[in-house]
Amino acid sequence: MLVCDLMSRDVRTVAPDATLQWAAQTMLSAGVGALPVCDGDRLLGVITDRDIAIRAVAAGLPGAAAVSQAMTVDALFAYEDEEVEAALQRMKAQQVRRLVVLDRRRRMVGIVSLGDIAVEPDAARCDQVGTALAGISNPMTPPPELNDLT
């Protein structure tokens, strides 16, 4: 099965100059934990609720600060024509629950989450989702720039 078969296509995005407060309010109203940061359909990064909490609030950035100050620039992604199993392995290896989906021209076309994959009634994939979730749930070492905050 391909990523495009399971991904969410109706994805809200945010501009890099949008405020962190606006991004957080958008996440709240949309019921999501991440927003692709885009210039048109070109992916620049991703801002997550965790980025806002750790990179912005914990670091003392105001809500009026730009999303670009806290976003993850090297956003992980999957191609829409990639096998779901490959995307699952990337999620596990990088300890993330979602990947932005790009077409082969590197335009943002959606997001695929662990939840999207988990609800697919493919019994063979159940073990893979459980393994990926276990890998994602292992504690990570905080980034070096946050060590000064503790």
Answer whether residue 144 is part of any domain.
no
SS3 content of the chain, % helix, strand, coil (to 5): 40, 25, 35
Q: Give the chain's radius of gyration (CA, Å).
A: 16
**Which pLDDT band holds residue 123 (cuts at 50, 70, 90)?**
very low
Answer whether residue 142 is part of any domain.
no
pLDDT of res. 142: 57
Structural domain count, the chain: 1
Full domain range(s) for residue 98: 3-137
Answer whether residue 72 is part of any domain.
yes
| Mean per-residue pLDDT over the chain, rounded | 87
Answer whether residue 150 is part of any domain.
no
Higher-pLDDT residue of 25 and 127 is 25
CA distance 126 to 129: 5
Q: Is the pLDDT of residue 41 over 90?
A: no
Answer whether residue 104 is part of any domain.
yes
Q: What is the mean pLDDT of residues 56-85?
A: 96
Higher-pLDDT residue of 105 and 133 is 105
Q: Is the pLDDT of residue 134 over 60?
A: no
- Model pTM? 0.78
Enumerate residues 6+ apart whose C-beta is below 8 A from 89. 132
Answer whether residue 147 is part of any domain.
no
Q: Is the pLDDT of residue 55 over 70?
A: yes
Reported as a single tens digit per residue, the pLDDT across 8-17 is 999 999 999 9
CATH code: domain of residue 112: 3.10.580.10
Reported as a single tens digit per residue, the pLDDT across 98-110 is 999 999 999 999 9
